[in-house]
Amino acid sequence: MWYLAGPKINEFIFKNPFADNRVAKMYCFNFKEKDGEFLCDALHIKLCNGQDLSLDPGFLGIKIGGLDVKQVWENNLMNGVVPEEIRIEFEEPFAGQ
């Protein structure tokens, strides 16, 4: 039996699913490597089109949204805790690629 597909996740996350949604920068908070895996407390992604995406893995699942998700994560940090931020920047691809 076949079912019609529902909405795609990109329709919920991206402001414009057809825009340039390539990653320009990523900010990892409390980044560490363990047993070949990369771990971080939260992730902020800056897209080439200027949109911000924030991922906050919590006890009840991963929250994905804009800067509002990052702000909630920061507000929930214990007083005086300053997370270590690592920025990764990606080069622009050549025109026509």
Q: Which residues contact 20 (CB under 8 A, 6 or more apart)?
A: 47, 48, 49
**52-85 pLDDT, tens digit each:** 999 998 878 888 889 999 998 898 888 888 899 9
Q: How many domains would you assign to the chain?
A: 1
User: Is residue 1, in this structure, part of any structural domain at all?
Assistant: no
Distance (Å, rounded) from C-alpha 47 to C-alpha 54? 11
pLDDT at 91: 80
**Is residue 96 included in any domain, yes or no?**
no
Q: Which domain holds residue 63?
A: 18-89
Contacts of 47 (CB under 8 A, 6+ apart): 19, 20, 21, 22, 23, 24, 53
* Res. 38: pLDDT tops 50: yes
In-domain check, residue 3? no
Model-level pTM greater than 0.85? no
Q: What is the per-residue pLDDT for 1?
A: 56
85: in domain: yes
- Give me the pLDDT at residue 25, please: 93
pLDDT value of position 94: 44
Give me the residue label for tokens 């980044």. Answer: 31
Q: Give 6's pLDDT tier (boundaries 50, 70, 90).
A: low
Q: Per the domain annotation, does 56 fall within a domain? A: yes
Q: What is the mean pLDDT of the chain?
A: 83
